[in-house]
Structure 1
């Protein structure tokens, strides 16, 4: 009995020391966790291409990983730089036009619309407290336009000024990605070895994590691109700057529930109130039927994968992930939910006799 107690105590001590060491290691990499997670996700997306490159040079794994990283830089960095430069330029043009429209009395004419007058009267009658007067609304809009333009300039200046930090994060991501691609098989084998589960359970967990991470990124990014492209086309047709507002729609698509309606709905209302009923109806219909359908159809198809997560679970995973972790939560949330479902399935298999006995009792 004492020997058994000693062995068990040494096991508990080892596990405790390991947990403390893992926590300390987490604190060391926590400032760079975003770059590491991004490298992990990109390695899952890029591995098929890297595997093809590696098959052409099986004796040169270092060169194959280097070529894969360089290809990723060309595919992501160059187009992103061009789009960002055009976006800032068009964004400044948009804010200038809004400011001129406000200065020329466009907002005052809009607020004199009969429907808006009725809406203001109804709100004043039904809602408690003092509402903003039309003059105050115009002043707030002017402040917003001026502030938005200033913030856009500050954002571009800050990004250029913080180029060192951005460059460091990008280089760190590439550095981690290089090793994840080069040592992919070794890393997967090590993870499988250290997880204290059966081989089938390890394979189920790892394959699900890979599948959901890939589906989460592709589902969110491809849906955002598709919605931004469709929304930008409609905005350009009705006379708004397509690149700017299409990009804004792409970013808005990451917001659950509201999504791209945050952009096209106010634009449609503006067209209605300025007398462009035809274009307003077109933009609203396009937003609901085309842009909305992309979100309702494409996103669940891409993100559901083979994890059998319902649309409700996907929605809750995205909503909770963004709330807890920010934008990177579109990856974290689905992965956490998917791994939870896998663990529940493993639990029911592992304890099926006990669960069946409990059901009979």
Structure 2
């Protein structure tokens, strides 16, 4: 017969002191929590490759972890620096050229076209407020483009000026990643030891964290990457800066409902106005069929590990995570929702007899 454990007042004192100390530790590491969580996610994604390296260098755990971090840096970070630089250059070139085009009267030429004039007149009939002034549209667009161009230049200067901060955060992520890879088994063993849950419950929680973290990254970021690639290719084919607008499509894919249509639909409208209706039709067809298919097929396929969450829960976990935690909320949101569902199922299993009795009472 298993012995029962009775919690005494001194135990509550110890638990309270431990909780207070844990909160104090959290306050200390809160400024760096993003780098720590990123290192945790990268360790989950990168662990299979590290496991192979560690198997080859079984007697040298420090060397294998350092080699894994070095490979990760060479494979991902260094190429990313060059890509970001190219994106900023294309963005600055686009907005500068757009402002020059507006200043030279390009917008006036478009607004003077018969099809545009007819469309504006039709819209004026149905609008409940004052009629649309084409000149006001031109001045507003020129102001917006000028502001965006200045912001792009300022952003590039800010990125260059903030290299030190980015470098420090990256080094911190690598530092944490090194220990997560090297001491993976010890960390798991420690978590199991201090957890009051049963071994099966621990297995369920640990497996769910790993599965959801992977699927959230794969579902959100890889879907955005895929949409950015196929969308950027179509924009390049239609005569736009493919790398810049492909990146914008990747970011737009995180926006629920509208997504990448925020980019390719106005571009198609512009092509239609200037008379390139073939490329406009191409962009619309490509956006609906190809880019849309990537989102509708790839994202659910990659996020199927989210503890059986249906589409509605995935939707709210993503938009809620974005609202509360920013970009990292795309990972935090699904993890929080999934672990809540797992804990709820554990609750149902643990109190099954009581719940059955309540149902029958």
Pairs within 5 Å for 1:1-361: 8-114=8-114, 116-121=116-121, 123-130=123-130, 133-305=133-305, 307-361=307-361
Q: Secondary structure at the match of 2:303?
A: helix
CA distance in 2 between counterparts of 1:7 and 1:183 reads: 32
1:109 shift after superposition = 2.6
Cα distance, 1:114–1:355 mapped onto 2, change above 3 Å: farther
Post-superposition CA distance 1:75-116 (Å, at most 9, x none): 111111111121122112211221122123221232334554
CA distance in 1 between counterparts of 2:272 and 2:323 reads: 34
The answer to whether the 8 Å contact 2:226/2:294 transfers is yes
Post-superposition CA distance 1:251-282 (Å, at most 9, x none): 21122222111111110111122221111111
Which range moves more in the overlay, 139-148 or 106-115? Answer: 106-115
CA distance in 1 between counterparts of 2:82 and 2:68 reads: 22
**Could you list the runs of 5+ residues in structure 2 that have no partner in the other structure?**
1-5
Cα distance, 1:357–1:117 mapped onto 2, change above 3 Å: farther
1:357 shift after superposition = 1.7
CA distance in 2 between counterparts of 1:10 and 1:29 reads: 29
Structure 1 length-normalised TM: 0.94
The answer to whether the 8 Å contact 1:53/1:64 transfers is yes
Post-superposition CA distance 1:177-200 (Å, at most 9, x none): 000000000111111222221110
The answer to whether the 8 Å contact 1:304/1:314 transfers is no
Cα distance, 1:275–1:193 mapped onto 2, change above 3 Å: same
Q: Which residue of 1 aligns with 2:3?
A: none
Structure 2 length-normalised TM: 0.94
CA distance in 2 between counterparts of 1:360 and 1:118 reads: 70
The answer to whether the 8 Å contact 1:300/1:314 transfers is no
CA distance in 2 between counterparts of 1:187 and 1:320 reads: 30
Cα distance, 1:114–1:23 mapped onto 2, change above 3 Å: farther
Post-superposition CA distance 1:227-272 (Å, at most 9, x none): 0110011111111111111111112112222211111111011112
Q: Which residue of 2 aligns with 1:3?
A: none
CA distance in 2 between counterparts of 1:203 and 1:69 reads: 27
Q: Secondary structure at the match of 1:304?
A: coil
Post-superposition CA distance 1:320-351 (Å, at most 9, x none): 10011000001000000110111111111111
Post-superposition CA distance 1:276-307 (Å, at most 9, x none): 11111110110011001101110111012262
* Cα RMSD for the two superposed structures: 1.7
**Could you list the runs of 5+ residues in structure 1 that have no partner in the other structure?**
1-5
1:201 shift after superposition = 0.5
The answer to whether the 8 Å contact 2:306/2:334 transfers is no
1:356 shift after superposition = 1.5
CA distance in 1 between counterparts of 2:31 and 2:128 reads: 46
The answer to whether the 8 Å contact 1:95/1:149 transfers is yes
Cα distance, 1:131–1:171 mapped onto 2, change above 3 Å: farther
Cα distance, 1:115–1:190 mapped onto 2, change above 3 Å: farther
Which range moves more in the overlay, 141-150 or 210-219? Answer: 141-150
Q: Secondary structure at the match of 1:257?
A: coil
CA distance in 1 between counterparts of 2:107 and 2:359 reads: 67
